[in-house]
Amino acid sequence: MKILTTVKKVVDVELNIHVENGAIVEKGLQYVINAWDENAVEAAVQLKEAHKAETTLVSLGSTDNTDIIRKCYAMGIDNAIHIDDPALAKADSPTFAKVLQKVYEAGDYDLVIAGKQAQDTDAGQAGIMLGEFLGIPCVSNVIEIKVTDDTHIQVSRLGDAGTEIVDVTLPAVVTVSDSINEPRLPAMRGIMMAKKKKITVMDLAGLGTSFEEIGGTAPASEIVEFLPTQKRKGGQKFEGDPAEITAKVVQLLVNEAKVL
Amino acid sequence: MSPLFMTLVLAVGLAIFGRTMYQRILLLMALEPADRFNHIKDRLKNLVVIALGQKRLVGRKKERASGIMHALIFWGFCVLLIRSITLYGEGYVHGFQLPLLGESSILGYLYIALKDIMEGVVLLMVIYAFYRRMVVKPPRLHNTWEAYLVLGLIGILMVSDLLYDGSRFMLITAHGNPGDLHFFNNPTFGQEFLWTPVTIAAGNVISGFSPVGLERVMVLMFWVHIITQLTFLNLLPLGKHFHVITSLPNVFLKHLGYPHEKIKLLDLEDESVWEDETLGVNHLYQLNWKQGLDLYTCTECGRCKEVCPTYVTDKPLNLHDFNDTLKAELYANADNLILRAKLAKTLTGDDEADAKIKEKMAVFKPEKALVGEVIALDTLWACTTCRACEQVCPVTIEHVPRIIAMRQGQTLMQGQYPEELNTAFKGLERNGNPWGIGYDKRADWAEGLDVKLMADDPNVEYLLWVGCAGSFDDRTQKVSKALVKILKAAGVDFAILGTEEKCTGDFARRAGNEMMYQMMATENIEVLNGYKVKKIIAACPHCLNTLKHDYPQMGGHYEVIHHTDFINQLIAEGKIRVKKSLAGVLTYHDPCYLGRYNEIYDAPRSILGGLSNQGLSELPRHGTESFCCGAGGGRMWMEETIGSRINVERSKEIVAENAETVAVGCPFCLTMIEDGMKELDKDEQVKTRDIAELVAEHLA
């Protein structure tokens, strides 16, 4: 079985993100692997360990992703491709999905495992669109993957009311939830040894396409402006006699908040 | 007596002993190098105080009786060593005497008197030791057959020598010395037996014997003594009594300066170390010879486990078993280790030729994995690195560096470590703190306090090193604020690094993650040296220890002072004044990295004494024998799932002292003890406070 996993580098959302004049302030930001993609990599490596599988990672972007790719190598990924093209800086979800489609078609993959969304945009579209563009089954929000035979897998999908068990015919795309696994922190030895492994880097031309061909020049959506998160206003504190306060609070809830 | 028989006995006894010792020494030489032959003067001082003076045996109040017992047996043996030489001489020459110690000198007389008394004393101590083992049964002791055998042999040695002298005395004084036996007789100092009361007593026991009987007893006892002694000598290297031979050198060779061997700065850039698994201790042969000597020397006295926070809370780390297991493994693989070391010496540095040698060397790998099979993972990860074990070890065994080196092997090479550490490591990697909170929030606690940043004023006298807990943990932020209040009141010129500060890497290093540690250290040192920082006030003993002792290895040299030490100085210099108005019972919990690692015991006590209106009440386990809170050595970031909780055990001790306030000087201790009090539902009665908070509240 050949597995393709997708990895994106995103802004570390643990940091305060400042917005000025409709754009994100780059200073002080740092970039990390998207958490859900780490789950995807872990899922792929676990399948590899349990069954005979070859795992390939693809990362897209206009950034140097060597650090995160090396880590994925240390986790146990076999091959890595990085599509590095400055044009991708302005790409939207369908464009990314088109790039992934090209990567998929260049290989001979049975299964694509992607994170269900990226921490920066929370769009959650690229994986599903890839399934659509390829015309193969796609299951989202997956929390377990079991291999049935060479051409079938059974996945558990976390729904609103419970878990769905889905039999899927390969090739297919699954997007995984963070509850599927706890990604391993690779041994330092693995990270050091991964320095020797080769990362295939290519631009869109190298992939045999162009930004225009995949629809990048006529995007379906465009980011117009970033706005800072509104800070929550502090609550009101009341001190004094409990009976008086209660009356006051009730009055405020009725007249001002209008919830009663 | 009989030169022929003496020669035979000595030849056999010494040949077997020599062979055993040769094997033991070869085995040590097969291990990794360690530099322990410098600073001879300091080493001799340790030898005199710790080994000859028996400081850790006699010096501990709690163990004084058994300590004195051991010391007397040891000193008795030292005295009797000279006597043994005389006896071996007697085998060849009738009336053999040592120069200076013969009958012509007062020294000779003083010596026989001392020898006589010490024999009696040692015999009494042996009886006491039997009583302790059989009746008192202290829980720390392993009651093995070897212990009884050795005690028995010591008893036989004393009794045989006393009866030998006793029969000689009877023959000479009561029967007119029929065999013309030799004895000291000097006109000034009188006859030998005037100086030997114990011998006379022994003689009286056999006074009923006929001259022929006495003569037989004398000859028999002589040979019993000689043969017992040589048997004893040959038994020593086989078991825990090897310490009789190795403890003096072991103490002499102990690490100097820092309390134990510093964690080795590993060269992580060298690719071959990753391929050859040479980082940390993954295999027996990666121990250094001093660590091997430590194992030879372990006496299995059990003092280490008795003070170990993990053992007393039912975790699987039992240090004397740990040592014993490693020693047994070392002996079992001795031949292979020696052969492997021989091959290693033939390595040329040429890759191709070396590959073949390395292939051959691999054959001599022990069958069992050192960690996982010989030593269980739970055992290795239980240690809090508190050093209580090392502090009490009478023969100065360094347990902690060995444990950390084995953890390095696990973390760097095998990737085998408690899963919970993942989150903390990841936090460190991304945001420079184990919680993984955004690094840009590091100085948020100081908002509105008007604290300078190094970036704004790099010329300040002191850098205040806040630490991760002081920066991010809600509770410890209050300590940081209190400290700022004190420094401002004293007019200290200081600044913080703000978002440029990162975790020192202490916990990563002690959890064996040298790579993460070096990452943190490199970045911090770059920032510190960039600002030309000279003096640092550290608000955490772990930061203090790392900045002060670990960073110099990587080019970071600073004068580092802990905040309690600094506050104490401010008070002493009159820069701040405090009110002596703290009411209620106040006690102090010594943090391990402040006390045992950095020997700061007095400053906190001096401050607290000046605050409390009824003085400081000490906990039963305090000072050098303080009991760990359970958070050191990276344990802060691991789950404690086995046995009872260490922090609760310590909190119980504090509650039992009826303390109303327990002072600490470490953010980990603060968290652990406060949590312990909550667990016991005593957090309302007993307040856990950092010394800085108490001082800030009592500023006059």
Q: Where in chain B is the domain with CATH 1.10.1060?
A: 271-414
Average the pLDDT over B348-357 and give the result. Answer: 83
More confident residue, B678 or B356: B678
ipTM for the predicted complex: 0.73
Q: Quick one: pLDDT band at residue A196, thresholds 50, 70, 90?
A: confident
Q: Is residue A189 less than 8 Å (CB to CB) from chain B?
A: yes
Instruction: Count the neighbouring beta carbons within 10 Å of the beta carbon of residue B566.
Output: 23
Q: Which residues lie closer than 8 Å to B34 by C-beta, 6 or more apart?
A: B261, B288, B289, B290, B291
Per-residue pLDDT of B545-575, as tens digits, reads: 999 999 999 999 999 999 999 999 999 999 9
Q: Which residues lie closer than 8 Å to A227 by C-beta, 6 or more apart?
A: A19, A22
Q: Which residues lie closer than 8 Å to B340 by C-beta, 6 or more apart?
A: B30, B285, B361, B364, B365
Average the pLDDT over A189-214 and give the result. Answer: 89
Residue among B271, B273, B411, B430 with most chain A CBs within 10 A, to mutate: B430
Q: Tell me which H or E stretch contains B203.
A: helix B197-205
CB nearest to A12's CB, from B419, B425, B430: B430
Pair of tokens at residue A103 = 């990567």
Coil, strand or helix: which one is B507?
helix
Whether B101 contacts B107, CB under 8 Å:
yes
CA B311 to chain centre: 16
Residues B408, B406: Cα–Cα separation, whole Å: 5
Q: What are phi and psi for residue B412, nearest 5 degrees?
A: -80, -40
Peptide bond into A171 cis (omega under 30): yes
Interface of B with A in 410-439 (CB under 8 A): 411-415, 419, 421-422, 425-426, 430-431, 436-439
Supply the pLDDT for residue B497.
97
Whether B240 contacts B328, CB under 8 Å:
no
- How many contiguous H segments (helices) and E segments (strands) does chain B have? 29, 10
More confident residue, B412 or B497: B497
Identity of the residue numbered A199: I
Per-residue pLDDT of B638-687, as tens digits, reads: 999 999 999 999 999 999 999 999 999 999 999 999 999 999 999 999 99
Per-residue pLDDT of B120-161, as tens digits, reads: 999 999 999 999 999 999 988 888 899 999 999 999 999 999
Q: Where in chain B is the domain with CATH 3.40.50?
A: 423-572
Choose the CATH number for A2-202 among 3.50.50.60, 2.102.10.10, 3.40.50.620, 3.30.930.10. 3.40.50.620
CB pair distance less than 8 Å for B411 and A188: yes
Radius of gyration (C-alpha) of chain A in whole angstroms: 23
Instruction: Count the neighbouring beta carbons within 10 Å of the beta carbon of residue B682.
Output: 16
Supply the pLDDT for residue B94.
86
CB nearest to B440's CB, from A15, A32, A185: A15
Q: Is residue A158 less than 8 Å (CB to CB) from chain B?
A: no
Residues B550, B268: Cα–Cα separation, whole Å: 16
Per-residue pLDDT of B233-255, as tens digits, reads: 999 999 999 999 999 999 999 99
Whether A260 shows a pLDDT value over 80: the answer reads no
Supply the pLDDT for residue B102.
87
**CATH architecture assigned to B271-414:** Orthogonal Bundle (1.10)
Q: Is residue B447 less than 8 Å (CB to CB) from chain A?
A: no
CATH 3.40.50 is held by the domain B423-572: yes
Residues B323, A112: Cα–Cα separation, whole Å: 51
Residue among A12, A182, A188, A195 with most chain B CBs within 10 A, to mutate: A188
**Which chain B residues are within 8 Å of A188, Cβ to Cβ?**
268, 411-413, 415, 513-515
Instruction: Count the neighbouring beta carbons within 10 Å of the beta carbon of residue B600.
Output: 22
pTM above 0.95, yes or no: no
Q: Quote the minimal CA–CA distance from B277 to chain A in Å.
A: 9
Per-residue pLDDT of B175-197, as tens digits, reads: 888 878 888 888 888 888 889 99
CB pair distance less than 8 Å for B513 and A188: yes
CB pair distance less than 8 Å for A30 and B437: no
Whether A33 shows a pLDDT value over 80: the answer reads yes
Q: CA nearest B512 in A: which residue?
A: A188
More confident residue, B61 or A232: B61
Residue among A12, A14, A38, A49 with most chain B CBs within 10 A, to mutate: A14
Residue among B275, B412, B433, B444 with most chain A CBs within 10 A, to mutate: B412
Identity of the residue numbered B266: L
**Which chain B residues are within 8 Å of A16, Cβ to Cβ?**
438, 440-441
Distance between the two ends of chain A, CA-based, in angstroms? 60
**Which chain A residues are within 8 Å of B274, Cβ to Cβ?**
189, 192-193
Residues B436, B336: Cα–Cα separation, whole Å: 46
Which residue matches tokens 């009746």?
Answer: B135
CB pair distance less than 8 Å for A184 and B439: no
Closest CA to B109 of B188, B210, B6: B188
**Which chain B residues are within 8 Å of A192, Cβ to Cβ?**
268, 271, 274
Residue among B266, B270, B274, B277 with most chain A CBs within 10 A, to mutate: B274
Polymer length in residues for chain A: 260
**Which chain B residues are within 8 Å of A14, Cβ to Cβ?**
430-431, 436-438
Coil, strand or helix: which one is A11?
strand
Q: Is residue B515 less than 8 Å (CB to CB) from chain A?
A: yes
Residues A53, B504: Cα–Cα separation, whole Å: 41
Identity of the residue numbered B290: K
Supply the pLDDT for residue B117.
95
CB nearest to B415's CB, from A12, A14, A187: A187
Per-residue pLDDT of A114-147, as tens digits, reads: 999 999 888 999 999 999 999 999 999 999 999 9
CB pair distance less than 8 Å for B274 and A193: yes
**Which chain A residues are within 8 Å of B422, Cβ to Cβ?**
182, 184-185
Whether B162 contacts B202, CB under 8 Å:
yes
CA distances from B633 to B261, B383, B389, B506 (A): 15, 7, 14, 8
